[in-house]
Amino acid sequence: MKTFERLGLSAEILRAIAAEGYTKPTPVQAATIPHVLAGRDVLACAQTGTGKTAAFTLPLLHQLQHSPREHARRIRTLVVTPTRELAAQVESSIKTYGQHLPIRAAVVFGGVGIQPQIRLLRRGVDILVATPGRLLDLANQGELDLSHIQCLVLDEADRMLDMGFIHDIRRIMKLLPEKRQTLLFSATFSKELKRLAGRILRHPEHIEIARNETSHQVEQRVHPVGKSEKRALLAHLIHTGNWRQVLVFTKTKHGANRLSRQLDDDGIKTTAIHGNKSQTARTKALKDFKAGRVRVLVATDIAARGLDIEQLPHVINFELPHVPEDYVHRIGRTGRAGHTGEAVSLVCAEEAGLLHGIERLIQSPILQQVVPGFEPDRAWSDLKDENVTRSKRRARIKKSAAKRENDRGRGAGRPRQGRDATP
């Protein structure tokens, strides 16, 4: 069995790892760290929650510890991430594992004032963690010199491509020296990612760990339900299960805001996090959620990438994602670092195709359970009836949706629970 000691990390780093309670590396860490320490380029593909951040922060800290600092203000290592939350998480990891080392780290991202970041850079840092936009802003203002970078890390590279950062990445590459070590980490391995890797990596070590597989520590289930009953079912599950920390995924920012307000009306303290929120609001929402002041955090996929919540017990798919791989990312928020977790998907008939795509991806059916009092409409039953044609299914789905709209117009439906409902 591999241990952190056998990977060749320094005594100071091993002391920090032990203080965090870790005794053995995860598979992606055991496979990646030796290659990074040897100075090789790496292309690592591993799902969310497998320890990718430590897989590069640990060996990079070791390298910096044992290489001389030629100039106090020269940045030696650059880590680029797609979101502010992920950037903050990476910087936190660097400070945690580098607490016994004389290594300076900083994080820069948009949504906050640039002047404090400029002052921080002028004092000098060894490792800079940044989002693409703010990194280029600082470079364009002449406040950033990347010509002495020894190692570049692109973290969550697949998400950066999804978010349209490819042109920013190309501009960043022009600011870097050609002779450098490059590490590319991703949760998925698309054609676009292969092309990017081919342009920026030199004879890389290719590491792939459990791609598109869900953790055995996560219990998954589906609750079939009518679309208009999803919010009431979610409130019911939270109340009856006495759930105290729940991360809920929606597809849109507007949907996240609406669901947050509705759950508040149901007596469940809730907040939302998405791209339209200011960085101050996003930081406060996450802090309140981690501290238990808020029971439910409603998030979109982009905002949730990089959220690291220790021992998060419940992840809810209020709406299934259009991209099956995003399901794996979502439920990877729970069942982390050896802890168990629960992933629940509320699925209406219109989402049956998305559910089938997810099951094909993970190569396993997901247990379906109907909650009494929240039975799905006839359209869901038709999906399992091979004698009902596809056109009839679509027609019944539309008819069911129209009936729900009419019912809402007449004020029909389940009475709303008040703010004083028993939690």
For residue 61, give the nearest of 143, 156, 123, 153 by alpha carbon.
153
Where does a domain end: 166, 186, 209? Answer: 209
Q: What pLDDT is attached to residue 384? A: 57
Distance CA 245, CA 286 (A): 12
Does residue 234 fall inside a structural domain?
yes
Res 409 pLDDT > 60:
no
| Residue 159 and residue 113 in one domain | yes
Q: What pLDDT is attached to residue 211? A: 55
| Residue 240 and residue 111 in one domain | no
Q: What pLDDT is attached to residue 406? A: 61
- Tokens found for residue 85: 């939350």
| Residue 47 and residue 173 in one domain | yes
| Residue 331 and residue 306 in one domain | yes
pLDDT, averaged across the chain: 85
Distance CA 198, CA 41 (A): 11
| Residue 23 and residue 115 in one domain | yes
Q: What percent of the chain has pLDDT over 90?
A: 57
| Residue 26 and residue 151 in one domain | yes
Res 133 pLDDT > 90:
yes
Distance CA 119, CA 117 (A): 5
The total domain count for the chain is 2
| Residue 180 and residue 205 in one domain | yes
Range of the domain at 405: 218-409
Res 19 pLDDT > 90:
yes
Instruction: Please give the residue that has the higher pLDDT: either 52 or 16.
Output: 16
Res 119 pLDDT > 90:
yes
Q: What pLDDT is attached to residue 411? A: 45
**pTM score, two decimals?**
0.69
| Residue 97 and residue 135 in one domain | yes
Residue type, 38: A
Q: What percent of the chain has pLDDT over 70?
A: 83
Does residue 103 fall inside a structural domain?
yes
Instruction: Please give the residue that has the higher pLDDT: either 329 or 17.
Output: 17
Res 74 pLDDT > 90:
no
For residue 134, give the nearest of 118, 151, 122 by alpha carbon.
118
CATH of the domain at 26: 3.40.50.300
pLDDT of 161-214, one tens digit each? 888 899 999 999 999 999 999 999 987 777 888 899 999 999 999 998 865 555
Instruction: Please give the residue that has the higher pLDDT: either 216 or 301.
Output: 301
Q: How far is CA 158 from CA 109, 275, 359, in A?
A: 19, 18, 21
Contacts 24+ apart (CB under 8 A), 98-101: 98/13, 98/16, 98/57, 98/61, 99/16, 100/12, 100/13, 100/15, 100/16, 101/12, 101/13, 101/61, 101/64, 101/65
Largest Cα–Cα distance in the chain? 74
Q: What pLDDT is attached to residue 51? A: 83
Mean pLDDT is highest, among 254-258, 278-282, 380-384, for 254-258
Do 193 and 367 touch, CB atoms closer than 8 A? no
Does residue 418 fall inside a structural domain?
no
Q: How far is CA 416 from CA 239, 304, 318, 423, in A?
A: 13, 29, 18, 14
Q: What pLDDT is attached to residue 419? A: 30
pLDDT of 274-302, one tens digit each? 878 887 888 888 889 988 899 999 998 86
